[in-house]
Chains A and B, each alone.
Chain A
Amino acid sequence: MNTRMKEIIATVAIVAFFLICKYVLPKPLEFSPLVSNLIIGAMAVVFIIILIRTLQGKYIERRIVFLLVGIALLLPFFMQFDLPLQVSPEVKATYDALESLPPGSKVLASFDYDPPSAPELQPMADAFMQYAFENDLKVIIMGLWPQGPQQANQSIEAAFVANPALREKVEYGVDYVNLGFQAGNEFVIVGMGKGFRSMFPTDMNGTPYDSIPLVKNITNFGNIDFSLNFSAGKPGTVEWVQVGVDRYKLRMAAGNTAVQAPAVYPYLNAGQIVGLMGGMSGAAEFEKITGKTGKATTYLLSQSSAHLVVIGLIIIGNVAFFREKKGGK
């Protein structure tokens, strides 16, 4: 059988797999503890086989690596394990800062990310939004990324779904407002330091700034009690620290993608931000400390199992590396 034919068969098999998933398998799918343990055992056996083959000089193809990581990410969705989770000091500091705010405090939430980064940042934003509404914090939403304010709207909806009473309790324009996106990166923050009004003449729906009860008396950062920035890159937390914090003395915490978190830690250590939630683990910890279990907690199990697979592959990769080195000598 030639490669072309194999590829056609594989494509048909993949389509069949998804159709079976869609129309045959039970929904939702949940593995019993026995099945879960059997799967874990099978994965371990696969790794031992790969290790033995590596020692024999038969290396696996890169596509097998992709497949193993994919399986490790997917299967925990259907398993029922509780993962022990310790809340890190920087996430606790974020929560403590929010806790110290009296009801009625004005919190500026900048949503500086887009849908690709949502798996990490959306759970933090969802938990924050629900926490803010339940604790009567007034949330002023904006975005330095065009899709940010839409992500914020999703968080608001998620908060309403998680706690339906909030839908009646909170009022747009009084308890929260979405000022929308403004182009200009850090220049927007500089402009807001002079006056919010000039940067956001209207909110996302076109309502004039001065007609919105929540913000009409807000001139600049001096009227903001706290700020939380959800950031996936530039412009994001770094720019907020450089302009908002260092120039306008904004008190701020940040939720970052894991990629960005290491670059933001120096600002945390220097006290420029009060707290930091980094990546999926930061999101899960924030969910835990606020008591609002969401997707991050679910995702964390998948992520942890994928990390185990990656560690296993790193070990196997090193075995192959040293084997070749020895052979070379």
Chain B
Amino acid sequence: MTKQAILAGVILVVLLSAGAFGQDRPEAVVDSSNLTGAILPAPVTNIEAKNHKYDDGERIDLFWEKSVDDPDNIFGYKVYRIDKDGASELVRELLPGTTEYFDEEVENDVPYQYIVAVVGEAGEAPSEMTPEVMAAWEFFNFSKLNILILGFIVCGSVLFFISSAKSGKKLFIRKIGGLEALEEAVGRATEMGRPILFIPGILDLDDVQTLAAITILGKVSRVIADYDSKILMPVSRSLVMTSARETIKESYMSAGRPDGYNDNMVQYITDEQFGYVAAVNGIMVREKPATCLYLGAFFAESLILAETGNSIGAIQIAGTARPGQLPFFVAACDYTLIGEELFAASAYLSGDPKQLGSLKGQDIGKIVAMSAIILGTLAMTFASAWELGFMQSLLDILNSIFVTN
């Protein structure tokens, strides 16, 4: 047994030595001089350099097993890159404990080699040099195939329903509480001879909630134009101002009253959140609108606005997809469009095939999500409680569908 062990040891040493002599040792590129007489730390092992898959050819991934002296007897690691001419460059110094480095400063289709040196008190202990590796460009990222397929399912459904709606097929959307109240609220303001305040949130046109608000504004302003009521619309974004003016103008024109429109209906106040709120509060208490509509993206101002609106006795209808602000609208307003109901309301009121189709297509997405959650939960419960193989397989399939890494 002892003899076998000795023989095995000798063979190992010979093999390791052969391996060492067979490789280009990196003395020329790293400082491995022993200045203090201290012992060099153990080098890293199993170093491997790989082309990063599915990218635009600008990254090489480097992996290694850390030095046995890590973390107590080392200062860290140094990564050296050697190009095809043999010139080496220190690309990064890393902390102890690190076992990977992603080099993102490489050129496409150029061969590189790497050395990782362990830095200790005595100097640097270099690793073996990796074989040549090139960063290659891939056209298609197969690791995200599942996202593409799911995206196709949802977007495909949206497109399908849009084309159905365009072809004249009537798409059913359930009744949304609060929508009937819109016209009633406008009518009430007209009867009282007081204005309607419309706040489209405080985000810009790049937010889908603002877009939904502008769509609803189109319908509301049409009713206002028909009733000859007055609308006040202070906004906090210049782009929203221009688009709201255009929308209201169109409504007045389609109502056959282009003379009733004027640009002052929509006024830009300021981008500053609380400056805007202060101004809207002021407008509310001075103009005393009979109806306040808050539709769009709201933040801290939601409660301040709804509370002021409440104090002046206005009918208030709100709608936002910001979950943090919904509680205040629910508490302080007469009707609230919760989350996606805002978009549904926009689709419902406009009857626009694109919006209707999007809503129906998203419903397909919800069916997929609900099914996955219910199936996955059952599969995971049964797989873990009774170790059922087919349940585990089902779970693996679901995981592979929803994995995002």
Contacts and interface: CB of A to CB of B under 8 A. Distances in A.
B299 A104 contact: no
Given A102-B96, A233-B299, A260 B104 contact: no
B95 A104 contact: yes
A246 B404 contact: yes
The listed residue with most A CB atoms (<10 A of its CB), out of B93, B96, B203, B300, is B300
A105 interface: yes
Contacts of A225: 95
A143 to B, nearest CB: 16
Contacts of B92: 217, 223
Contacts of A234: 203, 297, 299
B105 A262 contact: no
Interface string A195-236: 000000000000000000000010110110100000001100
Contacts of B323: 262-263
Given A219-B105, A233-B299, A102 B324 contact: no
A196 to B, nearest CB: 12
Nearest to B207: A234
Given A259-B299, A263-B323, A220 B96 contact: no
A116 interface: yes
A322 to B, nearest CB: 17
A325 interface: no
B95 A219 contact: no
Contacts of A262: 323-324
B102 A259 contact: no
B95 A102 contact: yes
A234 B274 CA distance: 15
Contacts, number: 36
A222 B91 CA distance: 13
A192 B92 CA distance: 19
Interface residues of A, number: 18
Given A219-B104, A219-B105, A222-B102, A259 B324 contact: yes
Interface string A222-260: 110100000001100000000000100000000000011
28 contacts: A62-B311, A102-B95, A102-B96, A102-B97, A104-B95, A116-B273, A116-B274, A116-B300, A217-B93, A219-B104, A219-B105, A220-B104, A222-B102, A222-B104, A223-B92, A225-B95, A233-B299, A233-B300, A234-B297, A259-B299, A259-B300, A259-B324, A259-B325, A260-B324, A262-B323, A262-B324, A263-B322, A263-B324
A252 to B, nearest CB: 16
Interface string B294-327: 0001011000000000010000000000111100
Range class of the B interface residue count: 20 to 34
* A contact patch SS: loop
Given A219-B105, A233-B299, A234-B299, 16 more contacts: A62-B311, A102-B71, A102-B95, A102-B96, A104-B76, A116-B274, A219-B104, A222-B102, A223-B92, A225-B95, A234-B297, A246-B404, A259-B299, A259-B325, A262-B323, A262-B324
A223 B92 CA distance: 9
A219 B92 CA distance: 11
The listed residue with most B CB atoms (<10 A of its CB), out of A220, A259, A263, is A259
A193 to B, nearest CB: 10
A223 B324 CA distance: 34
Nearest to B105: A219
A90 B112 CA distance: 43
A259 B104 CA distance: 39
Contacts of B95: 102, 104-105, 225
A219 B106 CA distance: 12
Nearest to B322: A263
A116 B300 CA distance: 10
A220 B274 CA distance: 35
Contacts of A260: 324
A262 B324 CA distance: 7
A234 B92 CA distance: 34
A217 B299 CA distance: 38
A268 to B, nearest CB: 15
B89 to A, nearest CB: 12
Nearest to A262: B324
Interface in A19-78: 62
Nearest to B71: A102
A83 to B, nearest CB: 26
Contacts of B93: 217
A260 B325 CA distance: 9
Nearest to B101: A222
Nearest to B93: A217
A228 B33 CA distance: 40
Contacts of A220: 104
A218 to B, nearest CB: 10
Q: Which 5 A-B pairs have the closest CB atoms?
A: A222-B102, A102-B95, A263-B324, A233-B299, A263-B323
Contacts of B297: 234
Contacts of A246: 404
Contacts of A105: 95
Contacts of A222: 102, 104
A260 B298 CA distance: 12
A262 B300 CA distance: 14
A105 B98 CA distance: 11
A263 B325 CA distance: 10
A62 B311 CA distance: 10
Nearest to A260: B324
A57 B311 CA distance: 20
Interface in B231-273: 273
A185 to B, nearest CB: 9
A251 to B, nearest CB: 14
Interface string B67-92: 00001000010000000000000001
Contacts of B102: 222
Nearest to A103: B95
Contacts of B97: 102
A116 B275 CA distance: 11
Contacts of A219: 104-105
A104 B71 CA distance: 14
Interface string A255-293: 000011011000000000000000000000000000000
A107 B95 CA distance: 13
B202 to A, nearest CB: 10
Contacts of B274: 116
Contacts of B404: 246
A302 B216 CA distance: 43
A295 to B, nearest CB: 20
A262 B323 CA distance: 8
A220 B104 CA distance: 9
The listed residue with most B CB atoms (<10 A of its CB), out of A223, A225, A233, A263, is A233
